[in-house]
Amino acid sequence: MLEFDTLTMIIKVVGVLVLLLQVVPIMVWVERRGSALMQNRLGPNRVGPLGLIQSLADAVKFIFKEDPIPGNVNAFYYVIAPLVALVPAFMTFAVIPFANDITVHGHVLHFQLAQLNVGMLYVFSVASLGVYGIIMAGWASNSKYALFGSLRSSSQMISYELSMGLSVIGIIMTFSSLELGPIVVGQTQPAFTGLTHVFPALANVPFLAHIPKWGIFVQPLGFLIFLTAVFAETNRLPFDLPEGESEIVAGYHLEYGAMKFALFFMAEYTNMFIASAMLTTLFLGGWHAPGLPALLDLVGATGAFREWLRVTFEILTFLLKTSFFLWFFVWVRWTLPRFRYDQLMNFGWKVMLPLALINIFATGALIYYGVL
Amino acid sequence: MLVDRKPPVTARFYLIEIIKGLFITLKNMFFARKVTIQYPEERRNYSDRFRGLHYIKAVNGVENCTACMLCPTVCPAECIHIEAGERADKEKYPIKFQVDVLRCCFCGMCEEACPKDAIKLSTIYEMTQSSRTVYDKDMLMVQRGSK
């Protein structure tokens, strides 16, 4: 039925869009309060309870500020760059599943905006579009530091996108799918059935049979590489060279002010959310919560109520895991100093890339011998 | 001699060090004393010798100042303006006593020079005004601060 699909799709799109827009102010608040507490300060605590409304006050300030276009810039690319940075960040969420399917009146309702069979490729291609916004901003600004920032961004992108792409090949091999939905469904299985089959002696190890087949358990090396590459991809410390306040002032958004600057800010935080959601989906089992069926049995829920309760818990699980990674981004940012440029390149090409290749071969061997 | 000392293998592996660092951050976040002074409610404790806004000390409602002109003489910023007059009991007193606080450098030389302990610096450091206030005699004779 067309009406059902259209209606649910509109609801899903609006819901996801509202969620993504909500993430930005909340994350800005978390970042500012978190960083303040880590540095033995208090942070913004005046506007609203615990300073929660501070981000809204800042947004209002940004909107009402004068929005000048500096004289030396290329006006067209200067104006379009923040949008080019922001739109891909929003687009990526389309293929990420945030709960298992549910059947309503004979229709299967997917909690995912698009069942794209090349979901993984889509995410990576759209996510790397974001760097075009940064390059355009740096180039159009007609400023040394902005250009340095965007150059750094593009070289960083090349060296880290590669190992990032290679690190998830292990996941694709393990779950035999490029589609994110089946990858998450695959992660609900027990992890080490193959291992205990090959080495029967391990079958007696307690709890081994209860470990779910999350990416982090079957692909620990891939997880580490992906996690590191994601930091470079989202331009977060310790890889925030495109911004590098202490070296190149503010990098690519040096010449930006008012709402255009705020759009870059939104793009950064939305990218963080997308990256966290991808980490959750690929390596932390997405919406999968171990022991959820047992919990539902305990509550005694049945029928449609049980299904909706399950979906609610799955969405909450997904958001919880995602927010852990969002917090992790903040946590790492205020712990590690920035890499030097040559360190970054050495690390990307001489450490991450060989490790990602080793990971692929190791995964292949493990699959060949039936362990995975 | 330049010696190339490599850090131990565990440190060069980096990952363990990162995790240690992360927990140091967490420790600071939850257990360290926060140094922020939440200004309007909490104040920094300044020393009693802090040189803030001036006031003229008065005894029984009469200012100690005898308009001897030592403070405008010693003042390096030339911010004290005094016009002397004579009271009915033939005593010299300031008809006008103004401090140009915008010029004042709060050196405290006036306080040091004053033989009658009349001009003093209080501990007040908030000198914003919502109108163009003249720091004249009436204004300065209100005792402020702890001194």
Give the side-chain half-sphere CA count within 13 A for A272. 29
Shortest Cα–Cα distance, A81 to chain B (Å)? 35
Mean pLDDT across the stretch A110-138?
83
CA distances from B16 to A156, B5, B13, B21 (A): 24, 20, 7, 9
Q: Is the minimum CB–CB distance between B37 and chain A shorter than 8 Å?
A: no
- Chosen from A37, A224, A330, A347 to mutate, greatest number of chain B CBs within 10 A: A37
**Closest chain B residue by Cα to residue A238:** B18
In this prediction, residue B13 has a pLDDT band, given cuts at 50, 70 and 90, of confident
Helix runs in chain A, H state only: 2-38, 54-64, 75-91, 119-141, 144-175, 180-186, 193-198, 215-218, 220-233, 245-248, 258-283, 292-299, 303-333, 341-346, 353-368
Paired tokens of A183: 């990858």
Burial annotation B77-92 (CB, 10 A radius, 16+ → b, else e): eebbebeeeeeeeeee
Average pLDDT, chain A: 83
Closest CA to A256 of A99, A69, A98, A125: A69
Residue A1 vs residue B105, higher pLDDT = B105
Which site among B14, B20, B22, B29 would you substitute to test the A interface, given the most A Cβ atoms closer than 10 Å to its Cβ? B29
Structure tokens belonging to residue A84: 């080019």
Q: What pLDDT does B113 receive?
A: 92
Beta-carbon separation of A336 and B21 below 8 A: yes
Over residues B59-63, the mean pLDDT reads 81
Across A246-271, average pLDDT: 83
Average pLDDT over residues A22-29: 87
8 Å CB contact between A363 and A219 = yes
Query: Minimal Cα–Cα distance from A35 to chain B, Å?
Result: 8
Question: Is there a contact between A134 and A153 (Cβ–Cβ < 8 Å)?
Answer: yes
Q: Residue B73 — pLDDT band, cuts 50, 70, 90?
A: very high
Segment A183-205, tens digit of pLDDT: 888 888 777 777 777 777 777 77
If pLDDT is split at 50, 70 and 90, which confidence band does B147 have?
low
Cα separation, B139 vs A233, whole angstroms: 62
A337 contacts on B by Cβ (under 8 Å)? none
Which DSSP helix (H) or strand (E) runs through B120? strand B119-121
Per-residue pLDDT reduced to its tens digit, B118-141? 888 888 888 888 888 788 887 787
DSSP, collapsed to helix, strand or coil, labels residue A46 as coil
Measure CB to CB from residue B22 to each of A36, A224, A331 and give the nearest one: A331
CA A203, CA A216: separation in Å to the nearest integer?
21
A334/B contact by beta carbon, under 8 A: yes
Query: Mind listing the pLDDT tens digit for each residue in B43-60?
Result: 888 888 888 888 888 888
Looking at residue A78, its pLDDT comes to 87
Q: Which residue has the higher pLDDT, A324 or A241?
A: A324
pLDDT for the residue numbered B74: 93
DSSP-derived secondary structure for A215-251: HHHH-HHHHHHHHHHHHHHTT-TTS-TTT-HHHHTTG
Q: For helices A75-91 and A258-283, what crossing angle results, to 10°?
A: 30
Of A207, A310, A227, nearest in space to A272 by CA:
A227
Please give the pLDDT value at position B127: 81
Using CA atoms of A153, A157, A160, A166 in order, give the dihedral in degrees to the nearest 10.
Answer: 170
pLDDT at B145: 58
**B11 pLDDT exceeds 80?**
no
Residue A10 C-alpha, separation from nearest chain B C-alpha, in angstroms: 41
Asked if the interface predicted TM-score (ipTM) of this complex is over 0.85, the answer is no
Asked if residue B146 has pLDDT above 70, the reply is: no
- Domain range list for chain B: 54-140
Nearest to A149 by CA among A224, A86, A85, A88: A85
b/e sequence A84-115, b meaning 16+ C-beta within 10 Å: bbbbbbbbbbbbbbbbbebeeeeeebbbbbee
Of B18, B30, B34, the CB nearest to A42: B34
Task: Determine the distance in angstroms separating the CA of A50 from the nearest CA of chain B, rounded to an integer.
Answer: 13
Contact (CB<8Å) B28/A40 = yes
Q: Where do the domains of chain A lie?
A: 2-368
Q: Does A41 touch chain B (CB under 8 A)?
A: yes
DSSP state of A348: I
Residue A150: pLDDT above 90? no
CB contact set of A361 (below 8 Å; sequence gap of 6+): none
β-bridge mates for residue B82, sequence order? B97
pLDDT tier, B75 (very low <50, low <70, confident <90, very high otherwise): very high
State mean pLDDT over A7-23: 85
| Residue A1 confidence (pLDDT) | 54
Chain B contact for A224, CB < 8 A? yes
The rounded distance, in Å, linking the Cα atoms of B21 and A332 is: 9
Specify the CATH class of B54-140 in words: alpha beta
Which amino acid is residue A113, in one-letter code? Answer: L
Q: Express each pLDDT in A69-107 by its tens digit.
A: 888 888 888 888 888 888 888 888 888 888 777 777 777
Q: Does residue B22 belong to the interface with chain A, where contact is any CB pair within 8 Å?
A: yes
User: Does the CB of B127 have a partner CB in chain A at under 8 Å?
Assistant: no
- Predicted TM-score (pTM) above 0.90: no
B26 touches chain A (CB under 8 A): yes
CA distance A32 to chain B (A): 13
Which residue, chain included where needed, has tokens 């922001």?
A86
CA–CA min distance A335, chain B (Å): 6
Max Cα distance, chain B (Å): 91
What pLDDT sits at residue A246? Answer: 75
Q: Is the CB of A104 inside 8 Å of chain B's CB atoms? A: no
Output the CA angle A166-A169-A171, nearest 5 degrees. 130
CB B69 within 8 A of CB B84: yes
Residue (of B50, B114, B108) closest to B77 by Cα position? B108
Q: What is the pLDDT of residue A109?
A: 76
Return the H-helix or E-strand segment holding A107. strand A107-111
The answer to whether residue A302 scores a pLDDT higher than 80 is: no
pLDDT of A257 = 80
CA angle B28, B32, B36 (to 5 degrees): 110
**Range of weakest confidence among A177-191, A199-213, A323-337, B16-30:** A199-213
According to the model, what pLDDT value does residue A120 have? 85
Mutate to test the interface with B, among A329, A336, A350 (most CBs of B within 10 A): A336
Which residue from A34, A42, A336 is facing B36, i.e. has the nearest CB? A42
Which amino acid is it at B52? G
Average pLDDT over residues A229-246: 80
Determine whether the interchain pair B18/A34 forms a contact, defined as Cβ–Cβ distance below 8 Å. no
- Closest CA of chain B from A332, distance in Å: 7
